[in-house]
Structure 1
Amino acid sequence: MNRTPTRIAVIGAGPGGLTCARVLQRHGVEVTVHDLDASRTARNQGGSLDMQPGTGQYALRAAGLWEEFGALARPEGEQMRLLGRDGRILFDAAPPGEGQGNPEIDRGQLRDLLLDSLDPGTVQWGHKLERAEPLGAGRHRLRFGNGETSEADLIVGADGAWSRVRRLLSDAVPVYTGVTFVETGLNEADTRHPEPAALTGQGTMMALDDNLGLVAQRNSGGHIRVYVGMRTPEDWHRRAGVDLTEPAAVRAALLERFADWGPALHGFLTETDTGYVNRPLFALPVPHTWEHTEGVTLLGDAAHLMSPFSGMGANLAMRDGADLAQALADHPEPDEAVTAYEKILLPRSAEAAEGAAEGIASAFAPDSAEQALAHMTGRH
């Protein structure tokens, strides 16, 4: 198709932004990705993701990476366990059969898979967007923290929870959900931490009760990532006089919160190899919408930040990226493409965000144990 080349700038090299770039390049459309990280290895990418059929798996197929994904995926990681606060296993679902379900992959492995699929030089590292200046007719000048500038006919905001691109479209800002995770981790878990490893199984273990929770997630390489959840004020550590840089103080505070939970579960709080990272959970208002604006759009958390209890964040971001790229390939004018994309994106995002808000509300509630068991056994 003959068309005037469109300068497309994707801001953010997460799963959604990289998927968008990959699908664009498969259609012969040029794109540049700008990311604030100094390099692809500058930051740990987090835990494991389950790739879901209608979103993440769809995007991987659109990106032509399904077979490569299969070589890295961990189907056994789909095992799901629910434990009581006393450490008893209340529910244990084995992973589905081959070719079914939502196979797991580490975030870092997924990112490397997408990065390695792009043309050399596609991602510009060390490019933190400071501001985007409108130039008219949908064009913008991008100014980066390293002093460099560039111009774009279309900016794709894939820059996460605290997106700078979002400011061009919306006044919405993320708000605290009322729940904080404290992240920790166990290395060589099966040999060095056998009791928590046995309770975790091969996938994900959850124990939820009375506004508290433990989530343990098996990653590759023998690592288990642990999230200690609490419905609590965002400044809980200040109120308790806890210095977050002192692991012993954080450990003692968590043990106090979970004092009446079974001793078998205390190992998830105390046997850390990685220290403790405080992670308050934020979400955008539901629904988050904006007036269509020529030359700018959003995908992923920049468009629909929601709690991790949706289980859909990265999956939705990847589907967003694939849908936007396909629309840009199908329409002769980029503004037509973005209009078509946003007609799909916004209602889909609103539905998912509503489900995520309900999910975190039920997971951290006085009767969360009963609700979780009813949900997993199909009695809800």
Structure 2
Amino acid sequence: MAVTNHFLEGKRIIVVGGGIAGCTFVAALHKLWNPNLRLPEIIVLERNPKDVRHHSYSISLHGDSVNGGLVALRQLGLLNETLKHSIFGLRSGQFKMWDSNWSELMSTQPRPWGDLPTGSMRIKRSNLEQILVREAEKTNAAFHWGVECTGAQRLNNGRIRVLVEDEARSEVDHECDFLVVADGAQSKLRAALRPHDHLKYAGAVQIGGKAEFPHGIPEPIGENWGLMLSGKGVCCYFSAVDKDTVVWALSQQRPEPDTRTSASTPDRFTTLKEEALRLGNMFSEPFRTIVESTYPSSAFVTAAMEKEPFRHDDPKLERTVFIGDANHAVSAFAGNGANLALKDGWDLAENICYGSSLHNAVAAYDSLGFARAAEAIKSSHQKIDFAHCTSVRDSLLRAGLATGRWLMSWKGM
């Protein structure tokens, strides 16, 4: 009988979610695993079909600290491949803040951490996901696409049964020795295993969409991304997705979230567009041009939602770990979700490969991931308050920008 030299050697791991966090974990575990030991069997269960990518917006990856997503990508050996898809190239563009007349209030370009080639970059989220999926598929992991995980049960033998429905709604359940939950902010497994742990409204509602410019995005957005401040409780975020497309999101603080989710009909699109133009009437061109150039199917209205991180000290969660948005969802104002997911995936894999037990590995992961996510949520609250500031407070904050340039953390939004 073979001697087991690692607590997961020859065991089965199920990863629920084939997105950024899940694929990072799979790829990192394979990269860090001792080649002299038998690999665990890994099954990845993803609710979307393989070639379906719903995220066509761009995101910022940080490289200015050890907690940046670019650090995790370098550890995975994927940094150079990722940089090939950078919207702005190695120059990375600059995050800017403008007033309502596009006068620049602040500009940041973070300093790289260590020997990284850049301090930040922007990439279309779907491109990052494709890079990570390709890397994860090089491992021994078996991917099951288009299946829905609806729950999980602890068995008497200590294993976990994951309840799964395929595209035909037939039940195809799986058992495992270790469960990694990475199925996003609307996690079905979190709802089943932690039914009182819900997303919470962060206090702001965004109306936006994607505008297309075949002859180039209007300046000053084409080579940069950032935020317009009005001083009247309204702000607007802009970022290029590629050389022809820009995403915009007009934001306002409201006491309750907006229940509308899209502009699926011409009338609803017209209503959203008119609402955006009315709320943003103080913003100079090219604001109106961008809103008018939005293609209807991309228009959205969304509430900023978040969820505080949690540690895995509940005995009911033994052999189960939540990573990425399934553990700690952050709003768009945090600008940090992908970075947290990348670092979660790497840190969990690293502590598993080098840990003395599963319990110790999970505790070590918690000590890193919990603090990182809690700080991101705290920063998000500060950003929401600042972006929607008004009157005297606005003047004071603008003075702070002019003299101290103290909002470097805005780089990630």
Task: Give the TM-score category using the shorter length.
Answer: 0.7 to 0.9
Moved more, 100-109 or 84-93: 84-93
The 5 Å alignment of 1:126-165 reads 126-136=146-156, 138-146=158-166, 147-165=171-189
- The total of aligned residue pairs comes to 372
Instruction: Go from structure 1 to structure 2 and tell me whether the alpha carbon gap of 1:77 and 1:244 turns closer, same or farther (over 3 Å shift).
Output: farther
1:224 aligns with 2:246: yes
Q: Distance in 2 between matches of 1:57 and 1:137?
A: 40
The alpha-carbon deviation at position 130 of structure 1 amounts to 0.9
Q: What corresponds to 1:125 in structure 2?
A: 145
The equivalent position to 1:72 in structure 2, one of 60, 77, 85, is 85
Segments of 5+ residues of structure 2 without an aligned counterpart are: 34-38, 407-413
Q: Percent identity?
A: 23
Q: Distance in 1 between matches of 2:271 and 2:344?
A: 41
Contact 1:216 1:225 in 2 (8 A): yes
Write 1 or 2 for the structure with the bigger share of helix.
1
Contact 2:91 2:118 in 1 (8 A): no
Segments of 5+ residues of structure 1 without an aligned counterpart are: none
SS of corresponding position for 2:73:
helix
Q: Deviations over 1:236-278 (max 9, x none)?
A: 577xxx9896211111111121223334422232221254111
Instruction: Go from structure 1 to structure 2 and tell me whether the alpha carbon gap of 1:185 and 1:151 turns closer, same or farther (over 3 Å shift).
Output: same
Instruction: Go from structure 1 to structure 2 and tell me whether the alpha carbon gap of 1:151 and 1:49 turns closer, same or farther (over 3 Å shift).
Output: same
Amino acid at match of 1:174: L
Instruction: Go from structure 1 to structure 2 and tell me whether the alpha carbon gap of 1:373 and 1:75 turns closer, same or farther (over 3 Å shift).
Output: farther
Q: What corresponds to 1:374 in structure 2?
A: 400
Q: Distance in 1 between matches of 2:324 and 2:244?
A: 29
Q: Distance in 2 between matches of 1:244 and 1:228?
A: 20
Moved more, 227-236 or 21-30: 227-236
Q: Distance in 2 between matches of 1:156 and 1:45?
A: 26
SS of corresponding position for 2:80:
helix
Contact 1:158 1:300 in 2 (8 A): yes
Moved more, 15-24 or 160-169: 160-169
Q: Deviations over 1:132-159 (max 9, x none)?
A: 1111454211112222111121111111
Contact 1:307 1:356 in 2 (8 A): yes
The equivalent position to 1:352 in structure 2, one of 376, 388, 404, is 376
SS of corresponding position for 2:289:
helix
Q: Distance in 2 between matches of 1:324 and 1:373?
A: 42
TM-score by length of 2: 0.81
The 5 Å alignment of 1:92-241 reads 92-93=107-108, 99-119=117-137, 122-136=142-156, 138-146=158-166, 147-167=171-191, 168-169=193-194, 171-188=196-213, 191=215, 197-209=218-230, 210-234=232-256, 236=258
SS of corresponding position for 2:154:
strand
SS of corresponding position for 1:310:
coil
1:281 aligns with 2:307: no
1:257 aligns with 2:283: no
The 5 Å alignment of 1:303-342 reads 303-342=327-366
1:61 aligns with 2:74: yes
Q: Distance in 1 between matches of 2:207 and 2:402?
A: 24
Instruction: Go from structure 1 to structure 2 and tell me whether the alpha carbon gap of 1:340 and 1:376 turns closer, same or farther (over 3 Å shift).
Output: farther
SS of corresponding position for 1:198:
coil
Contact 1:283 1:305 in 2 (8 A): yes
1:272 aligns with 2:294: yes
SS of corresponding position for 2:326:
helix
Amino acid at match of 2:301: N
